[in-house]
Structure 1
Amino acid sequence: MRDRMKIKDIRVFTLRSDSIVPRGFWEERLVRPVDIYERFRVEEPYPLGEEGPFEQRFLEVIVENCKERGIFGPVSYRTAEIVKTQLKPLILGEDPFSVEKIWDIMYRSQIHGRKGETIIALSAVDCALWDFIGKVKKEPVVRLLGGPVQEKVPAYASMLGFSVNPEDVAKRCVEYVNKGFKAMKWFFRHGPGSGSKGVEENLKLVKAVRNAVGYDVELMLDCWNSWTINYAVKMAKKLERYEPAWLEEPLMPDDIEGYVKLRRKVEIPIAGGEHEYTRWGAKELLRRGAVDILQMDVTWAGGITEMRKICALASAEGVPVIPHAGWTEPAQCITFSQPQTVCPMIEYLIKHSVIQQAFNKEKLKPKDGYFYAPRKIGLGFEPQMDKIVKEE
């Protein structure tokens, strides 16, 4: 069968439903780099999924003489367009098992797309190919990667979208500790543009967490690229007493020198790399000692094929990899294929996962604060194909 296998098409299909979450589901948003400008700073959370109709796009790799299909998604409209117009023509006729060759062809063809949306599109194709290979082999992708190396991995509760009002924070913390989580991440709402009042609001958030659940629960804090180095140093000095496990993405992704300087000035470990791309992006962060924890996203940084290389680079430098997990299934494949010393934890974006898995037949959630090694073939998810409304 392998000798006859060639990629015949990459199809984009759209699934549609009514609103999938109730109004008010998104209680608060995170701080953003553009919030230095007041007109953006006052914007409310975007009500994603709260209004219908709600649609998501998926990729489907179709192979000659094979009934199995490699599927990945949801993907954005722009990702789908890049795949259809720029990447698909390059790899039609290629052997779908030749992931290294296909990755190299796509990467070499995109000189002006070495970072950002083009690499995200490349990542989507790569993940769909791995899903296909797993289905043909009748194996979970993690098995194809040499795993599972770990049988269970602690998940941390990522609290994006929850209210940061101190009373609400305290209730949520207790709720998720009672569900078995031993670590959680909260997202700051304020940056330099909010002045001293914003500093106090940020501190109230962290204080509320510690007052609610004490210090036995690990606490991570996300700044989402929205602080300056001076603001970050000032905040870090105030936050050190609360013993955060890490301070995440305090600076813009391209300010690598700023990350290096910040690490020298503060005691809190610095996490970053979520918005970096490919092994070359990882190499620069590692070479310059910019981060204590590397957080590159499997579905943005180059896919499963590339993320294996990124993990190898990080392991050689002794830097743990805790991938940003906007898409839970690929993050699991990588995490469970690595030792605990390389990938010690996995992110569970509580509210975002509802959106990401909106059309999954089965929802993937931690059990008592842990994810367990994947057992389903391929990437391990199956979309609700009865909701399909469009094929391209």
Structure 2
Amino acid sequence: MALVVSLLASAIAVLSLLFATPASAQTTPAPTPSAGTGDVSSTYSVGGIIRAEDEPLEGVEVSVEGSGFSEIGTTGADGRWSVAVPGPGAYTATLQVDTLPEGVAPRDPDNVTRDVTIGTTNTVNVLFPTGEGTAASGSIWDTIFTRFFYGLNFGLLLALAAIGISLIFGTTGVNNFAHGEMLTFGAIIFYIFTAMGWNLILALLITVALSVALGYTQDAVLFKPLRRRGVGLVQVLIVTIGLSIVLRYGYLFFFGGGTQNIATGIADTVTIGPVTVTLTSIISMGVSVVMLAAVAYFLTRTRIGKATRAVSDNASLASASGINVDRVIRIVWMMAGGLTGLSGVLYGLYRGVTWDMGFAILLLLFAAVTLGGLGSAFGALVGSLIIGIITELSTIVIPPDLRYAVALIVLIGVLLFRPQGVLGRKERIG
């Protein structure tokens, strides 16, 4: 009991130190809410960000109605819009399609309204995915290539986090349900540093270093003592779920429930065939490829990497042959923390930063690891690319809200014919 109380106190102290100073440093001005009619309190608002893929859209209008209230919000240069509402209640936000730029259309033209309820939080953010209509003037092959490209980008950043899950599972047998919060940690810390005006490269390096420290701390304070006490994997699984809840709602308490965009100051775009993307996306993909290549080199060419693979194959035999298993596991946790924190930064650049962003894609990460083969880092890479590409290509024929379900259906289909996954080995199953 004393250990549990100590861990909770430590977690609260760490969160307080991380967020107390940056909270006051977030000086980036919030979008000015549109003036409403009547006595409107600025305490409550409905807002969001409208982009065509990665490009913010300016001048797009969204109407908000409910309980006799009606007002229109307009996006600024950063794609943000906000409407102040009278107070808690049910409202309907409707995208004004005719205000979208030429060549841009909603991904789902039949679903341009969002029902929102303001109750437990005073600000609600809604999303209107756009961009799919830009391919309407081109051929179906242009559309397929465009979705494939974005799927490749999504798959690469998923791979960084999925490899971390795979390495931890391979060396310890633990399915870490707090892994999504490690991703969120990286995104939030990077956002705070950039909001303070830090250099992007310096902010990235320190974010990754802090993510490595988070991985080290989790193993040193929590999981290593549990291993020494011989706690079963089911009990450890429950601990990871509890840790996930503590961290996730800690983020909500300190960071808030809104969606924040990371300001990089890079507005240039790159055209590749029918695809036009921001330079930030190209850099993100390049960073992912370089890091994945570095992980591959580490696992196949370095002494510690070979020891990691040995522990993953058979920890008892590796220990008998002189390998320090605890040291290898500690390195794996640190590597997983750094890779997952970096993945959070890239995902934050891709979709924005929210308190539950890691939890939202945790199931996709586990699907990628399972699809590629449990305990296989290279399998996690293959599974992530499959998941990323399938989810984006599926939006050609189905509403974007259902794309993650398609990825899970593909996972089930593959496992029915190859239970060990694409690159997994049969002896690892069961």
TM-score in terms of structure 2 length = 0.25
Structure with higher helix content:
2
| Structure with max Cα Rg | 2
Structure with higher strand content:
1
TM-score in terms of structure 1 length = 0.27
